Homo-oligomer: A and B are copies of this chain.
Amino acid sequence: MNWLYALDLIGTLVFAISGVLTAIHKKFDVVGSIVIGLVTAVGGGTLRDVLIGKTPVGWMQDLNYFYAILLAVILSYLFEKHIIKWTKIMFIFDTIGIGVFTILGIQKTATTGLGLPIILFMGVISAVFGGVIRDVLTNEVPLIFRKEIYASACLLGGIVFVTLEFLNLPANFNAVCCMLIISIIRYFAIKKHWSLHF
């Protein structure tokens, strides 16, 4: 599925940009910004690979991810003022990113023979834990624990993906459905101020 690989690189780029902008906003120096950008982009996949024992972790074996992050750093410093205004475009690509990360996380974990709940869990981890590590490193309480139903959207998207795969529908179709579900949930969550407090 080459379009998933392309979207994965774009997701990595967008996640890295959002990480670098956070770091610049916090007055980190260049090195700090690169680390925060990198961690935001590949932190989730890194944790997944370490937990399931697929090391060296995936992004380290394909330099395209590294170059995507490098490009993100350059773009962030060059177009900082502009990018901050593109909230809608960034939101769209960020949503595509978590969808792709969820799908690829599920696919990679599925090759290990672990149980279905763990596979779904690793899908969510891949999508959201980069942001968690970013927040820990910048000394914030991780955003996803408080605000958005970010992780829940990934979980639901993941369940849809796994169900469709189980029904032997075409993988491309399943991936698109998963990403649509995640996008729709996130859109309405923000529009209607959904949250999951009991």
| Stretch in contact with the other chain, from A24-32, A86-94, A172-180 | A24-32
Within 8 A of B (CB), among A107-144: 112, 114-115, 117-118, 121, 132, 136-142, 144
Q: Is A151 an interface residue (CB 8 A)?
A: yes
Q: How far is the CA of A145 from the CA of B66 in the complex (A)?
A: 20
Q: Are B66 and A57 in contact (CB under 8 A)?
A: no
Q: How far is the CA of A30 from the CA of B180 in the complex (A)?
A: 23
Q: How far is the CA of A36 from the CA of B146 in the complex (A)?
A: 12
Q: Are B31 and A77 in contact (CB under 8 A)?
A: no
Q: Are A144 and B32 in contact (CB under 8 A)?
A: yes
Within 8 A of B (CB), among A36-66: 36, 46, 50-53, 55-57, 60-61, 63, 66
**B29, B117, B138: the one within 8 Å of A149 (CB):** B29
Q: Are A55 and B66 in contact (CB under 8 A)?
A: no
| Stretch in contact with the other chain, from A9-17, A159-167, A190-198 | A190-198
**B-chain residues with CB within 8 Å of residue A142 when the two chains form the complex:** 32, 137
Q: Is A35 an interface residue (CB 8 A)?
A: yes
Of the listed residues A66, A132, A138, A141, the one surrounded by the most CB atoms of chain B closer than 10 A to its CB is: A141
Q: Are A52 and B63 in contact (CB under 8 A)?
A: no
Q: Is A104 an interface residue (CB 8 A)?
A: no
Residues on A lying within 8 angstroms of B by beta carbon are 23, 26-33, 35-36, 46, 50-53, 55-57, 60-61, 63, 66, 77, 112, 114-115, 117-118, 121, 132, 136-142, 144-147, 149-152, 155, 195-198
Could you name 12 residue pairs across A and B whose Cβ atoms are closer than 8 Å?
A26-B141, A28-B145, A29-B195, A29-B196, A29-B197, A30-B197, A32-B144, A33-B145, A50-B55, A51-B55, A66-B117, A138-B141
